[in-house]
Amino acid sequence: MYEMFQHAIYLSGSFVLQEAWPSELGVVYMVSHIYAERRQAWSRTQYRVLFDKESRGYLCECGLYTHMGMLCCHAIRVMINLGVKEIPRVHILNRWMKNACKNLPEHLMIYKAGNYAPKDATYRHSHLYSKALEIVKMGDKNTEAYGAAMKHLLDAIDVLKDTNQESDGLGLQDQTAAELSGSAMPITPGRTGLASSMNVISRKRD
């Protein structure tokens, strides 16, 4: 999380705050890319960032905060220009904290530190996923590394074709499918108090 936020701060240097205007929800700021004229035609160069006066938070129409719960470079650009020295409390989510696993609901207690076992679906899935990402990162360094990574991945696929024919039902995909089949409730992404704010932002042009 720290590295992602650090990278967002770096990216914010490519944007400038151009204008601002009041709205019913607070203040809307317009940020633009410093090299907008050099960008590809499909590349967006302007974003509106809302400062919500009720929550004291910043929400950009790029949707990163709504999707990931992390401030984007556009919102950070606005905060830097305004001299904000600390991340607003509304943006400090429990999921990004060290103690995020302390207050989990019962159905997620398997994620709690010290509660892993090789047979747990979450352990197997997350361990495999992290190693796969590590291979991608290493294999993307150069052509030779790419060739070696692809060779071993293809070899692994051939081996797994013979060993994964039977499922023990503990796989994350199997458990998720079982839970969904037994529930009629639709699954929707989590919401925050800021999630729908940008939908009503508008500015009348003269």
Tell me the two tokens of residue 163. Answer: 């060993």
Torsion over CA of 52, 53, 58 and 63, rounded to 10 degrees?
Answer: -10
Cβ proximity of 164 and 171 under 8 Å: no
SS3 content of the chain, % helix, strand, coil (to 5): 45, 15, 40
Q: Please tell me which residue, 168 or 101, carries the higher pLDDT value.
A: 168
- What is the per-residue pLDDT across 64-87, written as a single tens digit (0 to 9) for each? 888 888 899 999 999 999 999 999
pTM of this prediction? 0.50
| Coil vs helix vs strand at 75 | helix
Structure letter (DSSP) for residue 110: G
Q: Does position 95 have pLDDT exceeding 60, yes or no? A: yes
Question: Which residues, 6+ apart, have CB-to-CB distance to 15 below 8 Å?
Answer: 31, 32, 33, 34, 47, 73, 74, 77
The pLDDT score that the predictor gives to residue 43 is 80
Tell me the two tokens of residue 170. Answer: 């503990």
Q: Does position 167 have pLDDT exceeding 70, yes or no? A: yes
Domain boundaries, the chain: 2-96+192-200, 106-181
Q: Please tell me which residue, 192 or 132, carries the higher pLDDT value.
A: 132
